[in-house]
Amino acid sequence: MKLKTIIELTGAEILSEGSKADFEIKYAFAADLMSDTLFMVSREEEPVLLISGVTNPSVIRTAVILDIPAVLIVRGKNVPDETVEMASDNGIVLLRTHHIMFTTCGILYSAGMRGAPWKEK
C-alpha cells in the first residue's frame, strides 16, 4: 500500500517527511512496547509501518534499528520536537492520526494491509 494511501485512509498529519515522498509499505505492526517490536519484527521483511502511541525518541530508535521507514502515532498525541527531529535526521516518515490504535489497524486491514510476519521463538 502506498504511503499516500495510508495517510489518506487514516487522516494522518505528516510530522516528518523522511527521505522519500511516497513509497510502498507491505506490512504493519502495532505496539506500545518497543521491546515487543524489537523482539517480534524481522529486519528481513519488506517495508513495515510501525503503529504506536509512543511519542518519545525510543520509537524512532526502534525504527532505525529495524529499518522501518514510517511510524504512525495514534490517538492524536503530542509528539516532542526531539522525536520529530530524530525522525527527520534519520529519514523516517513520522505521521500522526487522531484514531485510536484499534481503529487505525482496522482501517488499514480493511484496505488490504496485513500484519508483519514475526520472528518465531
Q: Dump pLDDT digits (tens) for 61-119.
A: 999 998 899 999 999 999 999 999 999 999 999 999 999 999 999 999 999 998 876 65
pTM for the full predicted model: 0.90
Pairing of strands 13-17, 27-30: unpaired
Specify the CATH number for the domain of residue 111: 3.40.1390.20
Q: Residue 120 is placed in which grid cell?
A: 518465531
| Cα–Cα dist 65/102, whole Å | 25
Residue 79 DSSP one-character state: -
Q: Residue 16: enclosing H or E segment and its boundaries?
A: strand 13-17
Give the tens place of pLDDT for each residue, 62-72: 999 988 999 99
The answer to the question of residue 50 being in a domain is yes
120 domain residue, yes or no:
no
Closest CA to 63 of 101, 24, 95, 102: 95
86 assigned to some structural domain = yes
Parent domain of 54: 3-115
Number of domains the chain is built from: 1
